[in-house]
Structure 1
Amino acid sequence: MSNEEWQGDFDPMADPDEQRHLLSVLDSFRSYRRLAHYNGTHVRRQAFYSLPSSHWSLLSKPPFSVLDSLAKIDDLIDANADLAEAIFQTGFKSFIAPTLDSGWVASIVPEKYANNEFEVYSKVMEHLNVKATRNDIDKARSCVHQFYREWSAEGAVERSKCFDPVLEALEKEFRKLSQTDDSLDKSSLRVLVPGAGLGRLVFDICRAGFSVEGNEISYHELFASSLALNHTTKEGQFTIAPFVLHSSNHVSRQDQLRTFQIPDVLPSSELSQVFENSRIPPSERMSMATGDFCVIYSQPDAKDSFSAVATVFFIDTAPNIIRYIETVKNCLASGGLWINIGPLLWHHASRKPATEGDDEGDAKDSKTETYAGAGIADPGSVELTNEEVVALVEHFGFVIEHHEVDNIETGYVSNARSMLQNTYRPSFWIARKH
């Protein structure tokens, strides 16, 4: 990735509300260890010992050994927390550390912690006195688990279902363009990935030789993707147990305790190996922009900027899908491709609506998530069917060149060994702007 990890004009430190939200996100990762231990094992131990003594005594012995299992869960929570705290340090170092007075930091940090980066940052957080919201805590936990899908070898099963169709469409488009211009290089095709998440699709597109820009509005995802893309130093650097905090629907205890190594590839090393196939080095072909997709890419300076837009499990984050379609149309060059794959689990539909006298509303839970007064925070919402979405895309001047439903089945951060399986059958379509 380029030296500037996140591009864009928006400065969160210039807005007190935004700064407070950023600190809440950082604290949600910093608090992962304590809260996961409390909710994951402490509460369960209390409940266990509340059973009749003859019952908990029985369940403490083999083959049940419930207390031994809780001890193993504690160990795996610590492994997950190592990743969460690395994400915390990445975000703090990028946004908060540059704004601090070194003398003030030295005055509040005990000398014994002076060489411990995590402890130094934690002491600063304590003095800033911003605590994570429940919503941010839930997102931090989900973000840690999402590494299984995006950055483990085992997650390739889910990734291939969603990423391979995108990569195949880009390769096909490049071959088509090369027929009329044999001097064309893949790096000349600029691809935008809104809702980039933990950055794996951005990385895979860059590894394939294309130029790519990810866009993400969530600080949770931005900090985590930065760790994966820019700050990991070896394959398998972290061990995660994505299912350890879920206690239901396990066939065996070992299914709950399964661990996985992440990342499965070291991005810096992997991209250096493909440089010889591209005229432009990977560091200049991959970037990440932070902010609201609609706000950034509907601007005049973004017009006709990209050869392709790839939306994967993204368009259902739109309260008003028309805003997304208009934005894609603005930033996509004439003749460019919009490649979409995903379900229509309209995210906003579960939001608590604002009530009379409540000028905040759920949509203003965090300005980073909504950019109040613009983009996805615009008033109004609608939930459409897949047929209606496709009809709208055509209405705005796109030609659907390929469309299939029911041919792809995939989970999302799913445990294949669980007794409960949630399966998506996403819609996959390719549209060309004319």
Structure 2
Amino acid sequence: MAAAGEWHGEYDPLEDPEEQRHILSILDSFRSYRRLAHHHGTHTRRQAFYALPSAHWTLLAAPPFNILSSLDQLDTLVDANADLADAIFITGFRAFVGPHLPPSLVASVIESKRLDPSDDLAICSALLDELDAKATPTDCDKARSCINQFYRDWSAAGSVERDACFSPVISALVAEFTNNKPDLNDVQVLVPGAGLARLVFDLVRAGFTVEGNEISYHELMASSLVLNHTTRAGEYTIAPFALGGSNHHSRADQFQTFAVPDVLPRAVLADAGSGSRVHASERMSMCSGDFCVLYGPGEDGQGGEQGRFDAVATVFFVDTAPNVVRYVEAVRHCLREGGVWVNLGPLLWHHVAKGPAESREGGAGVRERDMDRGVAEPGAVELTDEEMVKLVECFGFKVERQETGMVESGYMQNPRSMLVNTYRPSFWVARKVSDA
């Protein structure tokens, strides 16, 4: 398994000043989680509470309501979430910024601020201040979402959602390759939109050689923490539903906590690799950058990843595209002939509603010259499931299996909530039979 900072991509992001600013904003969004969550989560609620008529807030402060005690408990849960955010911040800073700083600057900051050399959080934070980092509101929202994502991907309770969405994909791949490639170690699988890398991890456990691709630095930093830097299962505790005050039957439902990760990835992969020809830790990699740019055809129709993978697995991914044709082109390009694309997910298109500036948000490896062929290109389209399947067939795929309604799943859903959103995603298996 690659150590922090060894995600490979098309170029060094710190060579690009705009990309540097983007990375610093993301780092500051994780660092700011504690302060902002306390402010928006409890400070503003206390202000609103005390703005009630005094007779009303006095009533609600006493048993059986104990609203002020609940807000105190919420502060404690915010701190638990923030411990995870701080750990991601340190991991990301060490990977993307620390190696590029002059040792003299680091020593000077430690000395001038009289920092404890063993206090990584204080040192990384002070150095980030020196670089004048400031998080954008969008990045702060993404940091909060990333912390909550650990519930779905890396908690025991999240296995309900994971099993519903991952199991059909993994089963289809095992069924596809068990007969014609007895050693699954030889099967190269690409997982675009890898997020916190749980599907990548689970496919490696199943025996495949897997490369995850992710454009979000939020997700890359968080996945590096959980894969490379956790020391035990349950190292962190999160309360993913605590900051939302609506649709709870009880405070106990709102304040549920979950231990993450549910397993120690390094230990699991060590066990999974003991009987394999290729050790599990050597069968996992993460690549940062725009999926379309890294894996799709270049302007000349060629590209270094052409025909490299035996399978592509996408879960809750295709609807992240503004122009989904680019995704189909990229999958076709990087799959070998006869390879399979296994997809499961809804079609929650959201780019059409965005303005041009929002649609062109940066990410890992998004450079100005790539804007017109990656996810940041202008334009967007929304297809139905029927149209999506027809589009796949237009690009030289034969859809061998298609099912809708076989899976019902929430997405980071509190199962105890009064409001439960359920997806009925489409599932299909398509084989590349020709180059369109």
CA contact (8 A) 1:21 1:368 kept: no
| Correspondence for 1:319 | 322
Pairing 1:417-428 to 2, within 5 Å after superposition:
417-428=416-427
Deviations 1:2-39 (A, max 9, x none): 34630112211000000000000000000000000000
Deviations 1:53-76 (A, max 9, x none): 111111000110000000000000
Pairing 1:109-128 to 2, within 5 Å after superposition:
109=110, 110-128=113-131
CA contact (8 A) 1:186 1:278 kept: no
Question: Residue type of the partner of 1:174?
Answer: F
1:193 pairs, out of 188, 191, 194, with: 191
| Correspondence for 1:14 | 15
Gaps of 5+ in 1: 179-183, 355-360
1:218 aligns with 2:221: no
Deviations 1:126-183 (A, max 9, x none): 12112100000000000000000000000000000110011101110122314xxxxx
Pairing 1:50-89 to 2, within 5 Å after superposition:
50-89=51-90
CA contact (8 A) 2:204 2:210 kept: yes
Pairing 1:137-148 to 2, within 5 Å after superposition:
137-148=140-151
| Correspondence for 2:359 | 363
Measure the CA separation in 1 of the matches of 2:363 and 2:57: 48
SS of residue in 2 equivalent to 1:214 = strand
After the TM superposition, which of the residue ranges 137-146 and 95-104 deviates more from structure 2? 95-104
| Correspondence for 1:402 | 401
Measure the CA separation in 2 of the matches of 1:106 and 1:163: 47
CA contact (8 A) 2:312 2:341 kept: yes
TM-fit CA distance, 1:369: 7.9
TM-fit CA distance, 1:380: 1.7
| Correspondence for 1:376 | 375
1:332 aligns with 2:330: no
TM-fit CA distance, 1:367: 4.8
Measure the CA separation in 1 of the matches of 2:136 and 2:319: 24
Measure the CA separation in 1 of the matches of 2:414 and 2:253: 9
CA contact (8 A) 1:292 1:371 kept: no
CA contact (8 A) 1:255 1:417 kept: yes
| Correspondence for 1:259 | 257
User: Relative to structure 1, is the Cα distance of residues 350 and 47 closer, same or farther in structure 2, using a 3 angstrom cutoff?
Assistant: same
Question: Residue type of the partner of 2:362?
Answer: S
Question: Residue type of the partner of 1:171?
Answer: V
| Correspondence for 1:153 | 156
Taking structure 1 as the reference length, what is the TM-score of the superposition? 0.95
TM-fit CA distance, 1:370: 5.0
SS of residue in 2 equivalent to 1:392 = helix
TM-fit CA distance, 1:114: 2.5
Deviations 1:283-340 (A, max 9, x none): 2110000000000001421011001000100000111111111110010011111000
CA contact (8 A) 1:206 1:212 kept: yes
Measure the CA separation in 1 of the matches of 2:415 and 2:367: 37
Question: Residue type of the partner of 1:426?
Answer: P
| Correspondence for 1:386 | 385
Measure the CA separation in 2 of the matches of 1:398 and 1:278: 32
| Identical amino acids, percent of aligned pairs | 57
Pairing 1:210-289 to 2, within 5 Å after superposition:
210-289=208-287
Measure the CA separation in 2 of the matches of 1:369 and 1:63: 53
| Correspondence for 2:346 | 343
CA contact (8 A) 1:249 1:419 kept: yes
| Correspondence for 1:358 | none
Measure the CA separation in 2 of the matches of 1:212 and 1:368: 20
Measure the CA separation in 2 of the matches of 1:261 and 1:276: 27
Deviations 1:94-146 (A, max 9, x none): 01000111221222232243220000000011121121000000000000000
Measure the CA separation in 2 of the matches of 1:380 and 1:246: 34
Question: Residue type of the partner of 1:264?
Answer: D
Q: How many residues align?
A: 422
Measure the CA separation in 2 of the matches of 1:212 and 1:113: 40
CA contact (8 A) 2:270 2:281 kept: no
Question: Residue type of the partner of 1:159?
Answer: R
SS of residue in 2 equivalent to 1:350 = coil
User: Relative to structure 1, is the Cα distance of residues 243 and 273 closer, same or farther in structure 2, using a 3 angstrom cutoff?
Assistant: same
CA contact (8 A) 1:310 1:339 kept: yes
Runs of 4+ aligned structure 1 residues displaced above 6 Å come to none
Measure the CA separation in 1 of the matches of 2:364 and 2:212: 16
TM-fit CA distance, 1:410: 0.3
CA contact (8 A) 1:5 1:287 kept: no
CA contact (8 A) 1:76 1:241 kept: yes
TM-fit CA distance, 1:365: 3.2
